[in-house]
Amino acid sequence: MAHDVETKTDRNLAMELVRVTEAAGLAASRWMGLGKKNEADGAAVEAMRKAFDSVAIDGTVVIGEGEMDEAPMLYIGEKVGMGGPAMDIAVDPLEGTNLTAKGGPSALAVIALAEKGCFLHAPDVYMDKIAVGGGLPRGVVDLDNSVQNNLRNLALAKKCDTSDLVACILDRERHYEMIAKCREMGTRIVLISDGDMAGVMATCQPETGVDIYMGWGGAPEGVLAAAALRCVDGQIHGRLIYEDDSQRERAISMGITDPNKKFDIFDMAKGDVMFAATGVTAGPMLKGVRRTPHGATTHSIVMRSKSGTIRFVEAFHNFTTKTWTPN
């Protein structure tokens, strides 16, 4: 009986997380294509923070909008929720602020939740990452292997040629050498302008066509990506990249004893993990918010590592005035 109650509680909490990402996604979508990324981000943050007030947890933000003196809401260390089990929260109210401002693809509102102490406290620096989805042998890719060897090993595990693989990489000058090596192997590439969280998530679902994510992106987004991959038995390695000594010292002050450590998925997100994301703009995995004169439709994903369940949630939100507030 206790197990049944626990399972039901987990399921209810997972759906509560979807309501929080829906609120952020709806708020951000009002700014889609208007060229105002800060306004879009601010709207998502405010809506997400308000929605947390009705979630039955004693939550602490460990991945958020920055330090207390840098962010008015969802700052690192902020308490959220209406009371309940102690949980750590990792959030990105709007992953893809530039994408939203320009009307580009795959902007997301994202949350991950785990028991206290289970998320890596990652500073806001770059992280070198490599990630693949589920159903593959452990160690099939490794951050310390060459691009060529990783592609060969992945192709062998998938029983295909390297020319059958698709890699997702941020379109940045720092990745030009990596891109060239992929092309030498015949591996096709999806270059994205922003939003590497969506790029990593794309490895989770076969219908996206993405087999592997490689390259530098944000470290906080790496922790959120690890949470998503935990729910599908995926794999990710990450290593922090520092631009100066102050960033290295910041990592040490946050409890990272080896600032050069290669983190695996369980270093970044251990224990039982829940993950939810709502599409703000349309992408290969999630549809964007679609607004009508009387409401809006959202498309979300919610995953739990305990059950391995992936649920897609499509919801219609009925509202008729500009003062509408999400439930």
Domains of the chain: 2-117+273-318 (3.30.540.10), 126-268 (3.40.190.90)
Taking only the tens place, the pLDDT of each residue in 247-270 is 999 899 888 999 999 999 999 999
Number of H helices, E strands in the chain: 9, 13
Name the one residue in this structure whose structure tokens are 């099939």: 140
Sign, Cα dihedral of 248, 251, 257, 258? negative
Please, what is the Cα angle at 217 between 259 and 303, to 5 degrees?
Answer: 100
Q: How far apart are CA 127 and CA 69, in angstroms?
A: 24
| Tokens 């695996």 sit on residue | 264
pLDDT in tens, 180-239: 999 999 999 999 999 889 999 999 888 899 999 999 999 999 999 999 999 999 999 999
CA atoms of 286 and 201, how far apart (whole Å): 10
Select from 9, 2, 13, 192 the least CA-distant residue to 95: 192
Both structure tokens of 245: 């000594």
Q: Are strands 310-318 and 295-304 parallel, antiparallel or unpaired?
A: antiparallel
pTM metric for this prediction:
0.91
Give me the pLDDT at residue 320, please. 67
Confidence grade of residue 153 (pLDDT, cut at 50, 70, 90): very high
Length reported for the chain: 327
270 CB-near residues (< 8 Å, 6+ apart)? 114, 118
